[in-house]
Structures are given as structure tokens and as C-alpha cells.
Structure 1
Amino acid sequence: MAQLVWAPKALDDLEALIQYIARNAPMAARRFAQKLVARVESLSTYPFQGGYVSEDDSQTYRELIQGNYRVIYRVEGQRVIVVAVHHAARLLDTAQFE
């Protein structure tokens, strides 16, 4: 099993997203967070389940899609590092993860 690590930026992204949804729908925010976290936790067992991020020519980053959000991560040996939670409609600049 791989060790799952959340980068500080990814945790900040997730917290901001949950707070945004909770303004109008607290229960929906809770359900969304539970689903997203469960999906991310599955990476410890299946780290290569996500496809490569199309904006990343180096094929360093992978992504899981959960609703309208992309969970961006990379695999380093036995570690899976979640680097961002990003709305799918927004442009993604992988340089921000370096």
C-alpha cells in the first residue's frame, strides 16, 4: 500500500471548496467531502488509477475526477502526493505544483 500525503495547498483547496459549498448547502458539502476523501483514499491501494493530466507534458501528474473537480496528484515511489483540488472548468498550470 502506498502512503497518502496531502500537500498543504491541496488541503487549503479542499477546505475552501467545502466552505464555499457549505454556504448554501451544508449537508451537500459534507457529502461531497466524504465522497472526495474516500475516492482519494483509494489511491493508497490503486495509485495509478487516475489518468495523466493533459496539461502536463512530462506526465508527472495524474488526476481523479470527482464531480466537477479534479484531484491532482503524483506518485513518488511508495507515496501518493495530492497536490491540488481544482475545478475542472478552470485552466490548470502545473508549474504551480513545483
Structure 2
Amino acid sequence: MATVIWSERAISDSEGIYDYIARDSLLYAQYTIQNIFKSTERLQLFPNAGRFLPEFPNTPYRELIMGNYRIIYRYDEAKDKVMIVTVLHGSRLLKEDIFDNSIA
């Protein structure tokens, strides 16, 4: 079973998402963040469950879609470790800087 690790960036992204949604609804903010975290639990058993990034298909990065959000991650098979790299709204552009320091 793979270990799922959240990067500081992914945690910060999640906090930002929560804060933004909470301006209108604390309940919906909690619901959204819980679903984001819960959707990554399956990566423990199925670390290659997500699709490769359409913008960067020749990289080892994959994504899970949860509602309007993209959860970007990388699986290190040798260490059996999944690193959640970032979480962003689907309308935002994905930039190459997400690849910096993304696997522990």
C-alpha cells in the first residue's frame, strides 16, 4: 500500500480553497476540502488511478478530478510513495513550476 504525502504547497492550496469558499459558506468549504482529501485515499491502493496531465503528457505527473478541482500528484514506485503536489481550480492554468521539489 502506497503512502500518500501532501506537499506544503498542496496543503497551502487546500487552505486557500477553503478560505475562498468559506467567504460564502463554511459548510460548503468543509465539504469541498473533505472531498478533496477523501478522493486521494484511493491512491494508497491504486496510485496510478489518475490520468496523465494533458498539458504535460510526457511527465510522471497525474491528476485526479474532484468537482471543479484538479489534484496533481506523482507516484514514486521505488519508494511506494504518492506525493500530492498541488490542488488547483480546473479553470486555472497549470504551469511547469509545479514540478520543482515535488517528490520527497
**Contact between 2:85 and 2:98, CA under 8 Å: does it hold in 1?**
no
Give the partner amino acid of 1:83: V
Task: Show structure 1 runs of 4+ deviating over 4 A.
Answer: none
Identity %: 38
In structure 2, relative to structure 1, the CA distance for the partners of 1:95 and 1:57 (3 Å cut) is farther
**Alpha-carbon shift at residue 34 of structure 1 (Å):** 1.1
Q: 2:6 corresponds to which residue?
A: 6
Give 1:80's match in structure 2, choosing from 67, 79, 82: 82
Which 5+ residue runs of structure 2 have no aligned equivalent? none
Question: Does residue 97 of the first structure (1) align with residue 87 of the second (2)?
Answer: no
Query: In the alignment, what sits opposite 1:40?
Result: 40
Residue 53 in 1 paired to residue 53 in 2?
yes
Query: How large is the Cα RMSD of the aligned pairs?
Result: 1.0
- Structure number with the higher helix fraction is 1
8 Å Cα contact 1:62/1:74 also seen in 2:
yes
